[in-house]
Amino acid sequence: MTMIATPTTTPEPLVITEQTFLGQNFIAGEWQVADTTFDNMSPNHTNKLVGRFPNSTAKDVDAAVRAAVDAYPAWKKTPAPERAKVLYRLALILEGMKEDMAREMTLEMGKSLEEARGDIQEAIDMAYYVAAEGRRLFGQTTPSELPNKWAMTLRQPVGVCGLITPWNFPIAVPSWKLLPCILAGNTVVFKPAEDAPLMGQRFVEAFDQAGLPKGVLNLVQGIGNQAGKALVEHKDVRLISFTGSSETGAQVAKTCGEQLKRVALEMGGKNACIVMEDADIALAAKGLAWGAFGTSGQRCTATSRLLVQSSVKDALLDKLLEHTHALDVGDTNEGAAIGPLVNQAQLDKVLRYIEIGKNEGARLRCGGERVNREGFFVSPTIFDNVTPSMRIAQEEIFGPVLSVIEFDTFEEAIEIANGVEYGLSSAIFTNSMSQAFRAINELEAGITYVNAPSIGAEVHLPFGGVKKTGNGHREAAETALDIFTEWKTVYIDYSGELQRAQIDNY
């Protein structure tokens, strides 16, 4: 494993050349420059410039919203199977762009090339899946309580939607939002995270190549507290879908509530993996290393708490430490499996939590320091002797830090797992069918894995959580359509008489 220490080298000065990539907004079908820009730096190299991107203001957001408003009537009237054809073309285009995009993704936000390819493949899979829903935007027919009367329901689009996405899955997560939103007949203003603007632009370039009509999808780059805030507050935006921190999500929800605007939130997690004494210990150790340290722990589904039964704790930790020490930490552009944290602020946050863990009395078993190389690297970190009330066991760290908590009984494990404010993903390793099904029923989480770690998702299954993780919506699968459509109920009375429902006719 790479030696760890505080870097002592001084980064070279940032060099701007005529070849520096200059990102643009995409409004009403036209690529546009902004008055000011921000620098997008690679987390693999503290002085490596990915490009300069629009630092959009409320003025830019307003122009994008107006374009979406103008495009909405025609797109709403376009038959859903026709809208779906754009998504089929998009899938083919993304397949052709996949390798180049994956390499740019590793440069921009630091995940491994293997993970980046998977990120884009998820969007490809989602495009094919959602496109098929163009012929399955089903409503219902149901008997009326009155004679000679027909009753049915149908889905209709919401209107102009603002979609705000994170940097850790810069293509996959936008696909969960953009694809069902557009398929349903809405128009969009899309604001990617400021740490992954290049991926946001590449995704919109693919939509443009697929022949999406002008104004249906508009891209506004920028900083969250400026461009994102303006999008959330805009009076003509009917819906906000946000993925990010619980703190920011609470502010988004407050603003949307004041405007009676629909809002779908996907936020944090503090996911637990339970390992029972009858589990396959070798499988559990391998799964935990991936669940805790994949994407450097920068997943809302990352395994951040290991709950292990006392009788197998030592055996499991020995194998887990072996897997952890074997992880290759370094520049993902050079093939490393575990890359950097996304930026300086995230690095500072993770290092601060490591100090909190030490001060709380947890035992540091490995890692715990910055890797001695340029970039925002922290070695995979495992704390033992953690108690459920410690901050490192309660608060989302969003980095490669795993807290190990010991328990004696299954009931105790469930209580500890549920004893946090979040409820996104959960996992249990056991060969007991009884314990597996009890965990499925008793764990307070939107996702439960049996004999697998807490990370990962499939596009045809709902994704989301409970408690402070979200506000009840589910992304992906057909449940995403419930976010981006309104239900309309239709009554057709062909009796030729005045019939009055909800009047006592008896």
CA–CA distance, 163 with 187 (Å, rounded to integer): 10
CB distance 488 to 494 below 8 Å? no
The one catalytic residue in 266, 374, 396, 406 is: 266
The residues pairing with 30 across neighbouring beta strands, listed in sequence order, are 27
Q: Which residue has the tokens 């495992």?
A: 382
Q: Is 408 exposed, middle or buried (0-12, 13-18, 19+ CB in 10 A)?
A: exposed
Q: Which residue has the tokens 């290092």?
A: 351
CA–CA distance, 397 with 303 (Å, rounded to integer): 11
Instruction: Report the helix count and the strand count for the chain, using DSSP H and E.
Output: 14, 21
Residue 232 tokens read as 């959330």
Alpha-carbon torsion, ordered 244, 102, 484, 477, to 10 deg: -100
CB distance 226 to 196 below 8 Å? no
Beta-carbon count within 10 A of 322 CB: 12
User: Of the candidates 318, 259, 255, 257, which has an alpha carbon nearest to the alpha carbon of residue 284?
Assistant: 318
Beta-carbon count within 10 A of 344 CB: 12
CA–CA distance, 485 with 473 (Å, rounded to integer): 12
* Catalytic residue list contains 300: yes
Sign of the Cα pseudo-torsion (274, 275, 278, 279, in order): positive
* Catalytic residue list contains 478: no
The one catalytic residue in 161, 256, 273, 300 is: 300
DSSP 312: G
CB distance 362 to 389 below 8 Å? no
User: Of the candidates 347, 361, 346, 440, which has an alpha carbon nearest to the alpha carbon of residue 393?
Assistant: 361
User: How many CA atoms lie within 13 Å of 449's alpha carbon, on the beta-carbon side?
Assistant: 26
CB distance 188 to 164 below 8 Å? no
Give the H or E element holding residue 149.
strand 149-157
Catalytic residues: 266, 300
